[in-house]
Chain A
Amino acid sequence: MRERTKAERTEPGRAPTTRMVLSIVLAAVVVLLLVLLATHEGAIGAVQRAYAAVTHGVLRVLGHDTTILGNVVRSSDFGITVVTACTGIFATALFLVAVLVFPTTWRAKLFGGVLGIGGIAVVNVIRLVTLYYVGVHWPAALDTVHQLVWQSLLILSAVALWLLWAGRIAGRKGAER
């Protein structure tokens, strides 16, 4: 009888039912937690303030004389208010669900989750900073860039991150476990 290779022993499809059920339950829990986070004023307020603080920091580094008050970053030229929809929480939720339901190892899923949360947060800060610039230099286009361009780019970045993770990392991690 042929001995199973390491890859075969660690193949995610070997115990699909338990893994899939656990993954789906975990995905549902994550969505529920994020929905609760979005409805909890204190918690979502903290996330908004954190994004405002990072955006303020980046803008200061870039030479802008901005001030911060709660979730509002402003200068004499322009101001932005970070609200729930600006936190990228919905894109993050989608990404986490996609990572959790993808059949691979828990380690790869953990890596995917961290990659998604971090990656989308970075993209979101870039979004807030560019919106500040558009607000200062091109205010007439602010609505379009905010609602049309960045809505699409946030979707694109989440999908591209997932594809890179699913194709490259999950497969390799699955083999390494």
Chain B
Amino acid sequence: MKREMRREGPRTLTAHVGRFVLVFVLSLAVLATLWTFIAPTYTRLVAMLARPLFRLVESPNVTVLSAQGAETWVYRIIGEREIAPFTWFDRYTFFALIPLLALLAATPGLGWRRRVLRGVTGIGALMVVHVLYVVSSVELSYAAMGLRTVGPLAARTLDLWQIVVRVLWEAAPILIWVALTFGAWKKLFERLRSGDPAGGDARRASWTGALGTLGWKKKEGTP
């Protein structure tokens, strides 16, 4: 009996993680199929938001963005009424939207209303990241090719900045998801803790300490 009770906690956690993985994979399969239809609209929106930002950071404005299907083409003005293709972002550049939505779909303990609200917030936040990614990537490329003047320190650390931009672009869906579902995971961990009667005071104390350090307050009456 004691052994069974001790095993209950970890098993429940494994079950939760298993469910999480399963729902994630299923959601991903459905959403990835839909991505073909969503991508052109999303790409157009990103380009629409990035254009004024280019005008803000460039003087004079030399970049022309064109959303072509799910691809974003970047042209550079090289003369009066003359533009030349500079680079492009392929149809996978903004795909992180799909794993983000799949992560939200798989997160346990969220009602549908909250899930949808977080989904909308997540899409908005990720779109901001994508807009910044497009603008900063292009500007860093200009600087690397000597098409934009930068200070000596920035010139020496261009490689580093390109990596930082890349890391933030890759990490964005996870960071946004963590920010949006922090509370849900907290509740799940608390439930796992309370549903593990023989898990020992030790594990309970550890989680209490962990959650407390993260700023989570224990509800009154909970063990």
Contacts and interface: CB of A to CB of B under 8 A. Distances in A.
Given A16-B213, A152-B98, A175 B206 contact: yes
Given A147-B92, A167-B192, A174 B210 contact: yes
B159 A39 contact: yes
A175 B13 CA distance: 18
Given A11-B208, A93-B167, A160 B20 contact: yes
Contacts of A174: 202-203, 205-207, 209-210
Given A6-B202, A35-B160, A93-B167, A148 B209 contact: no
B214 A103 contact: yes
B98 A5 contact: no
Main secondary structure of the interface of B (DSSP, over half): helix
Interface string B185-223: 000010010000001111111111111111000000000
Interface in A37-95: 38-39, 85, 90-91, 93-94
B184 to A, nearest CB: 12
Given A13-B209, A160-B21, A168-B10, A175 B203 contact: yes
Interface residues of A, number: 48
Contact of A148 (B14, B32, B199): B32
B154 interface: no
Interface in B149-200: 159-160, 163-164, 166-167, 170-171, 173-174, 178, 189, 192, 199-200
A7 interface: yes
Contacts of B90: 147
A152 B203 contact: no
A104 interface: yes
B171 A94 contact: yes
Interface residues of B, number: 49
A102 interface: yes
Contacts of A98: 178
A90 B207 contact: no
11 contacts: A6-B202, A85-B166, A151-B95, A156-B28, A159-B103, A163-B13, A167-B13, A167-B17, A171-B203, A174-B202, A174-B206
Interface of A: 5-8, 10-14, 16, 19-20, 31, 35-36, 38-39, 85, 90-91, 93-94, 98, 102-104, 143, 147-149, 151-152, 155-156, 158-160, 163-164, 166-168, 170-172, 174-176
Given A7-B204, A147-B95, A155-B103, 20 more contacts: A5-B201, A5-B205, A7-B203, A12-B209, A13-B213, A19-B213, A31-B167, A35-B160, A94-B174, A155-B173, A159-B103, A159-B174, A160-B20, A163-B13, A167-B189, A168-B14, A171-B206, A174-B209, A175-B202, A175-B205
